[in-house]
Structures are given as C-alpha cells and as structure tokens.
C-alpha cells in the first residue's frame, strides 16, 4: 500500500486512481488486465500499487488466498518474469503473492532486529509449500544494507549465512546513499548511476537469481 516499488519505477501514487488498473484490481481479479507498458525501459510492464491496496487485505480471507495466482495464471504466457513486490509483513497480501509465485526472494537487512522476521518468513514459505503450493520454494536470501566495517556487521552476516546455508546469495548489497537518491528520483540505481558499486551488485545478484531459477 505504500507503493514504494511503484514509485521507484517513476509512478507517483495518486488519490484519483479510480480509473487506473492497479494491483488492487489484479489481486481481487477485477476488470481486464491493463498494465502500464514499457515503464522506463522497453518490455517492463507495471501494475502499480496505490493507497487503495490497504483495503484489499481485509477482503482476502483465507479462502481467497489464491486469487492473485488465478489472475496471474491468465497472463503469465506474456512474460518471461513476473515479480510481485511485497511489504515486509506476512499478511494475506504476502500470502497471496507467495502462492502465486513459485520462487520467493527474501531480502534480509543485515542487522540483528531483522533476523526474527527472516525466520518467520522462511517458516511461512515452508508451511505454504505443504498446504497450498507444492512448487513454492525459497530461492534464496539476499543480504542488504551491508556495512564493511564493524564487528557487529560481520557477526550478523555470519549468523544469517549459517541460518540460510546454501540459500544465501553470495552477493551482498552495500549500504549507500546512492540507492536512496535514485529512489527519490523515481528510477532504479541501474539507470541513475550504473557505475556505482551498488548497481553492479544488483546486476551480480540478478545473474545469481537467473542461474538458480534455470
């Protein structure tokens, strides 16, 4: 509902979104599929989120945990990849997304307070795999906000790496103002500052994802 990913791709959430096809309609299976096409680069379509998505959560009772899956199944043939971005909570929106998408990427902020949430997400993926989507898997965990200096930063990374073992991606995204500045401009860092270390790290991470998904 905060529409962070949408804003990151240049879409500014509007209050007059009644005529716009958004992730609210997609999740509830309403209307015909009408994404924004060729957003920033050719071939990238976006179904944006708005504040209206907050009201969808209460309508997604457990019996509707596959509504997003049914909606995406109808259009999946059009795309090489479909990414469902989620807020860092385990409500029904996230459950719908995990059932709809067979591979879960888990960003883990490399700070002690992030570890319990990462463990809960890992457990939720396993529960949904057993009960709702046998093809669901945790593709891997990505360490973010990595700090090169400091004993705590190293200890947290080592702890997270022990938890996820081979599921831990080798790439780590360093803490930097560059990503935040790019987000403020409404573009990914790969378009705003492609030579920055963090942009290169995201490219490396993408290659890891593709190699694991092959």
DSSP category for residue 19: G
- The predicted pLDDT at position 37 comes to 92
Dist. CA 48–CA 196, nearest whole Å: 27
166 class by beta-carbon count within 10 Å (0-12 exposed, 13-18 middle, 19+ buried): exposed
Largest CA distance in the chain: 53
- pLDDT (0 to 100) of residue 166: 94
**b/e 41-66 (16+ beta carbons within 10 angstroms → b):** eeeeebbbbbebbeebeeebeeebbe
Please tell me the pTM assigned to this model.
0.87
Residue 195, pLDDT score: 93
What is the structure's pLDDT at 72? 94
Report residue 187 CA to chain centroid gap: 16
User: How high is the pLDDT of residue 62?
Assistant: 65
Give mean pLDDT in consecutive 10-residue pieces for the chain, a chain of 214 residues: 86 63 90 91 92 84 80 94 89 90 92 90 91 90 87 85 93 90 89 94 95 78
Look at residue 52 in the predicted model and tell me its pLDDT.
84
């Amino acid at each position: 509902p905060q529409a962070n990913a949408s804003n990151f791709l240049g879409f500014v959430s509007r209050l007059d979104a009644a005529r716009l096809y958004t992730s609210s309609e997609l999740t509830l299976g309403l209307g015909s599929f009408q994404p924004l096409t060729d957003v920033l680069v050719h071939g990238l379509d976006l179904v944006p989120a708005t504040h209206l998505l907050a009201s969808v959560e209460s309508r997604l009772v457990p019996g509707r945990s596959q509504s997003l899956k049914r909606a995406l199944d109808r259009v999946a043939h059009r795309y090489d990849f479909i990414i469902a971005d989620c807020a860092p909570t385990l409500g029904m929106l996230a459950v719908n997304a995990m059932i709809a998408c067979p591979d879960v990427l888990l960003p883990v902020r490399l700070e002690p307070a992030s570890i319990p949430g990462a463990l809960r997400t890992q457990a939720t993926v396993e529960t949904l795999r057993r009960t709702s989507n046998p093809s669901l898997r945790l593709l891997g965990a990505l360490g973010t906000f990595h700090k090169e200096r400091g004993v705590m930063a190293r200890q947290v990374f080592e702890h997270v790496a022990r938890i996820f073992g081979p599921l831990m991606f080798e790439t780590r995204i360093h803490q930097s103002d560059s990503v935040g500045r790019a987000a403020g401009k409404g573009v990914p860092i790969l378009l705003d500052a492609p030579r920055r270390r963090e942009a290169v790290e995201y490219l490396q991470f993408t290659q890891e994802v593709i190699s694991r998904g092959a």
